[in-house]
């Protein structure tokens, strides 16, 4: 027993939060998101680590990550780069492999998700010992910045369709700002086969199947990318395909 | 009973079951399949039900989605705060030695 404690010093002090940051061409944003994470974790005294999973970004994201490692320490910033651009599910698996936290936080690295909500996620999780906590843009004072009417319509329409077909018990299925218990994320990722938006939806649906408890926290989503990357017909078609697949198989 | 078994029955099967059940009841009443000798009123009300329900659901959907789009929160404050924090972060990181 004594030797076990020596190997896991963090467990003695309590919970540790591992943040998984899959990156591709986030040279500009990575330092900023790391700075914000350090700020909010530090202010609240939580144990944490940030795991950067870079898919060989041509813009030098990994090099910036290495600089951040020097600034903040190798115990706080972990690098788990990959050879090429692969899927999100495998990024999570890859990142979790060496994670030492008992909780995993997944989020976007492009500043659309703000670390200020993480303390709220943590508090919510403790409230009900939830297996996962999901950030929602559709409830409470959650919301979005930078979307025009068309985008909002597509978003709400798609969500409505999803609610009718899947009755998932969570208000925001395609959101990717979430806190999971590590073993819960591990068991879900190996079961999920979808890609893109649908992957995040499948995670929630499978969580319900396995009777995991889900808590929700309203978040604000600041989209600075929408102007450049419009939501096109292709993405809508693949979303509907994915939704129907989930409908028929879960 | 059916809700409890969600882990075994897919959503598609749940829907098919529900629709079949309602469809069977509708057919029995609207076409008097079991010769229940119901009054004409039952049959006249039952006959257009599927269409009525479909149209009602359509209206409900439009109203709900419309309402949700109209009340979709715009997080201007969050965007402003982010801009300020980005400036703060850039200055602090430069001090700490980050070369962009």
Contact status, residue A63 vs residue A96, Cβ threshold 8 Å: no
B73 contact A CB<8A: yes
Phi, psi (degrees; rounded to nearest 5) at A145: -120, 135
Chain centroid to CA A174: how far? 11
**Neighbour-count burial for B29-42, b at 16+ CB within 10 Å, e otherwise:** bbeeeeeeeeeeee
**Cα dihedral sign for A95, A101, A105, A110?**
negative
Range in A10-14, A160-164, B59-63 with the lowest mean pLDDT: A10-14
A74: which 2 tokens? 């190798």
* pLDDT tens, position by position, A24-73: 999 999 999 999 999 999 999 999 999 999 999 999 999 999 999 999 99
Pick from B12, B65, B72: which is nearest to A160 by CB? B65
DSSP state, residue B3: T
Say if the Cβ atoms of A156 and B97 lie within 8 Å. Answer: no
pLDDT at B40: 80
**Residue B34 C-alpha, separation from nearest chain A C-alpha, in angstroms:** 33
A189 exposure class (CB count in 10 Å sphere: 0-12, 13-18, 19+): buried
| B-chain residues near A61 (CB < 8 A) | none
Minimal CA–CA distance to A96: which of A185, A7, A177? A185
Rounded alpha-carbon distances, angstroms, from residue A83 to A11, A58, A62, A80, A94: 32, 11, 12, 10, 12
Pick from B11, B61, B74: which is nearest to A143 by CB? B74
Mean pLDDT of chain A: 91
Contact status, residue A159 vs residue A172, Cβ threshold 8 Å: yes
CA distance B14 to A248: 10
Identify the residue among B78, B83, B87, B100 best suited for mutation to test binding to A, counting A beta carbons within 10 A and taking the highest: B78
Q: Which residue has the tokens 């990994």?
A: A62
**Residue A50 C-alpha, separation from nearest chain B C-alpha, in angstroms:** 17
Q: What is the ipTM of this complex?
A: 0.86
* Cβ neighbours around A107 below 10 Å, total: 26
pLDDT band at A13 (very low <50, low <70, confident <90, very high): low
A13 exposure class (CB count in 10 Å sphere: 0-12, 13-18, 19+): exposed
| B-chain residues near A250 (CB < 8 A) | 10-11
B44 sits in which H/E element? helix B40-46
Pick from B65, B86, B98: which is nearest to A157 by CB? B65
Report the pLDDT averaged over residues A182-201: 90
**Residue A3 C-alpha, separation from nearest chain B C-alpha, in angstroms:** 37
Identify the residue among A142, A145, A210, A218 best suited for mutation to test binding to B, counting B beta carbons within 10 A and taking the highest: A145
Task: Divide the 100 residues of chain B into consecutive groups of 10 and give the mean pLDDT of each group.
Answer: 58 95 90 77 87 96 97 94 96 92
Pick from A68, A138, A249: which is nearest to B10 by CB? A249
């Amino acid at each position: 027993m004594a030797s076990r404690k020596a190997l896991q010093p963090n467990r003695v002090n309590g919970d540790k939060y591992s943040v998984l940051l899959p990156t591709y061409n986030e040279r500009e944003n990575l330092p900023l998101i790391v700075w914000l994470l350090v700020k909010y974790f530090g202010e609240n005294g939580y144990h944490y680590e940030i795991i950067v999973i870079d898919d060989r970004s041509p813009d030098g994201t990994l090099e910036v990550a290495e600089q951040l490692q020097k600034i903040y320490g190798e115990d706080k910033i972990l690098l788990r780069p990959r050879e090429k651009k692969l899927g999100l599910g495998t990024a999570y698996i890859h990142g979790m492999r060496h994670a030492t936290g008992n909780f995993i936080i997944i989020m976007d690295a492009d500043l659309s998700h703000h670390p200020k909500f993480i303390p709220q996620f943590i508090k919510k999780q403790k409230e009900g010992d939830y297996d996962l906590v999901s950030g929602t843009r559709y409830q409470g004072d959650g919301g979005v910045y930078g979307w025009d009417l068309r985008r909002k319509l597509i978003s709400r329409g798609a969500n409505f369709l999803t609610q009718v077909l899947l009755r998932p018990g969570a208000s925001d299925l395609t959101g990717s700002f979430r806190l999971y218990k590590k073993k819960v994320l591990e068991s879900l990722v190996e079961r999920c086969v979808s890609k893109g938006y649908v992957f995040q939806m499948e995670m929630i649906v499978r969580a319900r199947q396995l009777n995991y408890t889900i808590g929700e926290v309203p978040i604000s989503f600041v989209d600075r990318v929408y102007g450049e990357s419009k939501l096109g017909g292709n993405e809508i078609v693949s979303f509907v395909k994915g939704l129907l697949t989930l409908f028929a198989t879960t | 009973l059916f809700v409890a078994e969600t882990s075994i029955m897919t959503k598609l099967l749940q829907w098919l079951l529900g629709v079949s059940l309602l469809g069977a009841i509708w057919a029995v009443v609207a076409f008097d399949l079991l010769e229940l000798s119901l009054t004409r009123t039952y049959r006249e009300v039952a006959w257009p039900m599927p269409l009525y329900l479909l149209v009602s659901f359509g209206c409900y959907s439009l109203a709900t989605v419309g309402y949700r789009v109209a009340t979709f929160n715009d997080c201007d404050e969050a965007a402003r705060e982010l801009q300020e924090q980005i400036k703060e972060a850039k200055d602090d990181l430069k001090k700490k030695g980050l070369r962009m």
